[in-house]
Every structure is written in C-alpha cells, then in structure tokens.
Amino acid sequence: MSLNLAGLSTYTDEAKNDLIRASLLKARTIEFITVQPGIKSSAAINILTSSPIWTAGGCGFTNSGTTSLTQRNITVCDVKKNESLCVNDLEAYWVQTRMNPGSYNENLPFEQVYSEEVAGQTAKFIEQLTWQGNVSTGSGNLALCDGLLTTIDGAAGVVTGSTASAITASNIIDEVDSMVVAIPADAVDSEDLLLFMGNDRYRTYAKALRDANLFHYDGKEDQLGRFEMYVPGTNVKVVGVGGLNNQSKMILAEGSNLFMGTDLLSDAEAFRIFYSEDNDEVRVIQKMKVGFQVAFPARIVTSLN
C-alpha cells in the first residue's frame, strides 16, 4: 500500500517569515531646503533687499540707496489618501494564523509592517512631488501640485549653467563645472550651496571623477549611502536625491532659497488607522498640505537638460 498524494498541492510554508516591506525612497530633499509651516492655503515669503549707494563724505544729508520689501507666495496643495481594508477577507489565507480568535476582526494582523510601509510610501511620494510635481503635465500623484522643477522653470531670472543637449559620463565633469562657474557673484560664497541631481546621475559623476583621477577618491562620501560630496576645489556640495532619479535636470541653489510650505510638518508622518463599525472594516486616513517656492530665482543655476 502506498500514499496517493494526487489531490494535494506541494506544501509551501507561507507563514514562516514575517512580511517584508520594500525599501523605498526617503523624503530626503526636505533635509536640505527651508520648510515653512503653518500654511493653510497660501502664505508669503517676505523678502527684504537693500541697494546702498555710498557717496563722498561731508556735511549735510543726501538720501541715496533703496530698500525694497517684496513677496513670493507659497500656495499649498491639500492632498489626502483613504484606504479601506476588510480584515475578514484574510481568513481564507495564511494570514489567518496571525489573526485574533473570533469572528470580530477589528485589527490588522500585520499593522506594524503596514504602518512602516505607509510611512515609506509617503516619504517616496513627498520626495518625488518635491521635484517632479506638475499640475499641467504630471500624471497620477505627480499632478497634485507643482514641484520645484516646475516652479524654477517658470521663474524669471534663473541662470542656465550646463547647456549640453545631453549629459553623459564623458561630459558630466565639464557640465558640473559649468554649473559652478555660472553661480551669481552674490551667491558664490554662500555656505549652503547645493547641486541637486538624481542618484543615478550622482553615480555617473562619482565614477567620472574616479576614472579621471582628478583627486584621491576613496568613496568615503558614499559609505553611509548619503550620496554627498563636494565638487573638487569648491564650496558646492553635490547631493543625490531620489526625487530627481531619471530626470535630466540638475539644480544648483542655496538650501535657504528653496522652500517647502506645509500646514503641520508632522502631518506627513501621521496617519490614522481605525475600525469602522458601520462598515465592518479597518480604514486608513492620511492628509497633508504641501507646496513649493523659491525666494530668489536669480540666485539659482539650472541645467538645460
């Protein structure tokens, strides 16, 4: 007599390991730019500029010079995400081994992992929206608000540094140098000059420097995955950010000149998970306000591509 196993499927232990969430982009750009909280709909960046005119000394008082007060407005976009989860649907699958006894399923059996996933996806959304958001031409999440690329492209006075039709491994060093050379004189000695590019382009630049043997490059800048280093011989920090991945543009600006507006910064980190008795399901609500602006367009250098 032998076993007849034709009616069974090969066993797979689906419950052995914990749920694994994907590694996501972090909202890294906001670590470097200026965040202006407390905005419900629109608020002004208040700007003071002075143009002093010095004259020869002597008696008397002659008025000279001008002090100007101007504003650039940040308009925030009100965005939200709602999700409903019917926990009962999980009873027929391996997740049932993680569920509480009884028929009243009011909690997610994987709430911790789910919360971490939501937080990671939110960070990815903010990072990409910061740069790529475009109400006119964007799609999906990127159509909800104008990001920095759209804002900078639409601002008068922005300086074009790199003019190459395409940036490649063979010309990226020269094009980065062109960006640095194009920094306006008033901003050249700023302490927070940042050259933002995608992580993909950052790797191309780092390899080009190494291959050119222009300086002793040992990779220390990247040991912690920070994607940061200085353009050799300058005060410009190159920063690779996920929001510019697969984007042709590079942006060189002072971090203090790039603004993100929001209502409450912690809104991006908070969300509510609750059981809805009326609907017999777990619901998730997440809301925030976000918008972007620059204070001095003429102090920003961009690449043509």
| Number of folded domains that form the chain | 1
Rounded CA separation 77/71 (Å): 19
Residue 49 lies in a domain: no
13 assigned to some structural domain: no
Round to whole Å and give the CA distance between 238 and 227: 8
pLDDT digits (tens, 9 = 90+) for 59-107: 988 888 888 887 889 999 999 989 888 877 777 777 776 777 777 777 7
| pLDDT digit string, tens, across residues 120-165 | 888 899 999 999 999 999 999 999 999 999 999 999 999 999 999 9
> 246's torsion region: left (phi>0), alpha (psi -120 to 50) or beta?
left
Residue 178: inside a domain, yes or no?
A: yes
Q: What percent of the chain has pLDDT over 70?
A: 85
| pLDDT given at position 140 | 95
**What pLDDT band is residue 57 in, cutting at 50, 70 and 90?**
confident
Residue 289 DSSP class: E
Listed in order, strand segments (DSSP E) in the chain are 34-36, 42-51, 66-75, 77-85, 159-160, 193-198, 228-230, 237-241, 251-254, 258-262, 272-276, 281-294, 301-302
pLDDT of residue 16 exceeding 80, the answer is: no
Q: What is the pLDDT of residue 98?
A: 76
Beta-bridge partner residues of 82: 285
CA distance 34 to 254: 10
The CA distances from residue 237 to 159, 172, 210, 220, in Å, are 18, 15, 17, 14
Residue 16 within a domain: no
Model confidence band, residue 22 (pLDDT cutoffs 50, 70, 90): low
Within a domain: 4 = no
Distance CA 273, CA 254 (A): 39
With a cut of 60, say whether residue 220 has pLDDT above it: no
In a domain, 65, yes or no: no
Span 292-305, pLDDT tens digits: 999 999 999 999 88
| C-alpha atoms less than 13 angstroms from C-alpha of 121 in its C-beta half-sphere | 12
3-state secondary structure of 50: strand
What's this model's pTM, rounded to 2 decimal places? Answer: 0.84
Residue 50 maps to a domain = no
**Exposed/middle/buried for residue 296 (C-beta within 10 Å: 0-12, 13-18, 19+):** buried
Q: Are 40 and 9 in contact (CB under 8 A)?
A: no
Enumerate residues 6+ apart whose C-beta is below 8 A from 228: 221, 222, 237, 238, 239, 240
Write out the residue range of the structural domain in which residue 191 sits.
Answer: 29-43+74-302
**Averaged pLDDT of the chain:** 85
Nearest to 257 by CA among 203, 201, 301, 220: 301
Which residues is 240 bridged to in the sheet?
197
Q: Which residues pair with 193 in a beta bridge?
A: 254
Tokens 């922005």, residue located: 158
Q: What are phi and psi of 248, to 5 degrees?
A: -80, -25
More confident residue, 11 or 191: 191
Flag whether 7 is in a domain: no
Give 184-242 as a 3 state SS string. CCCCCCCCCEEEEEEHHHHHHHHHHHHHHCCCCCCCHHHCCCCCEEECCCCCCEEEEEH
| pLDDT, mean of residues 185-196 | 96
